[in-house]
């Protein structure tokens, strides 16, 4: 159930951002760049965009509240209760050392 609401919420976010960017403001908005926007939505483009923004904002608010409600009803937390600390083995670095005559003699003596 929560996964479906998250998916629907993401779709609403994309549509809401798109419709907000299409509205003309002081800078003209994306409707200035796309001259065909008025032919798509008709002569009442501004009214359609305002009503669409209001509708999507209400749906956005409902999905936000429902996601908050469902997450508060879960018994488990999203955050772990115990913080993982790194061990000394995580920081162990082996540095290769060039063999010396003494170490070579020790290796030969161990093999025999």
Q: What is the pLDDT along the chain (112 residues), one digit of tens a residue?
A: 788 888 999 999 999 999 888 876 655 555 555 555 555 655 566 788 888 899 999 999 999 999 888 888 776 655 556 666 767 666 666 666 676 777 667 767 766 6
Number of domains in the chain: 1
Per-residue model confidence (pLDDT) at position 69: 87
Residue 99 domain-assigned? no
Question: What is d(CA 39, CA 93) in angstroms, rounded to the nearest whole number?
Answer: 67
In the structure encoding, which two tokens stand for residue 95, read together? 């540095």
Instruction: For residue 81, give the DSSP letter.
Output: S
Residue 52 lies in a domain: yes
Q: 51 is in which domain, residue-wise?
A: 16-22+29-71
- The predicted pLDDT at position 2 comes to 80
pLDDT at 96: 62
**Is 59 within a domain?**
yes
Q: CB count, 10 Å around CB of 19?
A: 19
Alpha-carbon span 38 to 25, nearest angstrom: 15
Q: Has residue 53 been placed in a domain?
A: yes
Q: What pLDDT is recorded for position 21?
A: 85
Q: Are 7 and 67 in contact (CB under 8 A)?
A: no
- Residue 10 has what pLDDT? 93
How far apart are the C-alpha atoms of 68 and 80, rounded to whole Å? Answer: 19
């Amino acid at each position: 159930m929560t996964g479906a609401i998250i998916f629907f919420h993401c779709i609403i976010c994309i549509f809401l951002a798109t419709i907000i960017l299409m509205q003309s403001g002081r800078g003209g908005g994306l409707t200035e760049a796309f001259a065909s926007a008025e032919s798509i939505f008709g002569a009442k483009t501004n009214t359609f965009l305002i009503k669409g923004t209001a509708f999507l904002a209400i749906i956005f608010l409902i999905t936000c509240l429902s996601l908050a409600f469902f997450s508060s009803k879960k018994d488990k937390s999203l955050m772990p209760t115990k913080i993982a600390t790194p061990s000394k083995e995580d920081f162990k670095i082996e540095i290769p050392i060039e063999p010396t005559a003494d170490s070579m003699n020790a290796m030969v003596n161990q093999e025999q």
